[in-house]
Amino acid sequence: MPADLKKYKLAFLIIFFLSCTQLAEIKFDKEKWNERIDVDFPSAYREEMLSELLRNHKLVGLKYSQLIEMLGSPNFRDSNYIWYTIKVDYGNDIDPVYTKNLNFLLSRDSTILSYKVQEWKK
């Protein structure tokens, strides 16, 4: 087999395997966003919808009530922040080894000022 053909086959295989490991992206859907694996953990839909949600939906400037109407109840809320759990990975332990959240900063009048995706890895 010619060396050039081997290079092309190798490049094709690398691209193929890399494309298989990328996270699928799906359109935001409130019902799927709020599906749960169990009481505490969201389904994988949140992670698959996150990019599309952030890219195609206006979030900054919404009132808290509008955000809740769009996304449902958050996993955490205090006077300044709310967040939605996107993913939690426990590995082989009872403590998380990875978390991913969508955090929102609220103004005094409960308007969304900003958001960020926060990831933590042990």
pLDDT in tens, 7-49: 555 555 455 454 444 557 899 999 999 998 876 677 889 999 9
Q: Write the pLDDT tens digit of every residue in 85-97.
A: 999 998 898 888 9
Residue 16: inside a domain: no
**Which DSSP string do the residues of the chain spell out, in sequence order?**
--HHHHHHHHHHHHHHHHHHHSPP-----HHHHT-BSSSS-B-THHHHHHHHHHHHS--TT-BHHHHHHHH-S-SEE-SSEEEEEEEEE-TTSSS-SEEEEEEEEE-TTSBEEEEEEEEEE-
Residue 102: inside a domain: yes
How many structural domains is the chain composed of?
A: 1
- pLDDT at position 2 is 63
Residue 11: inside a domain: no
Residue 15: inside a domain: no
* Domain extent at residue 31: 24-121
Residue 107: inside a domain: yes
Residue 18: inside a domain: no
Residue 19: inside a domain: no
Q: Indicate the average pLDDT of the chain.
A: 85
Residue 50: inside a domain: yes
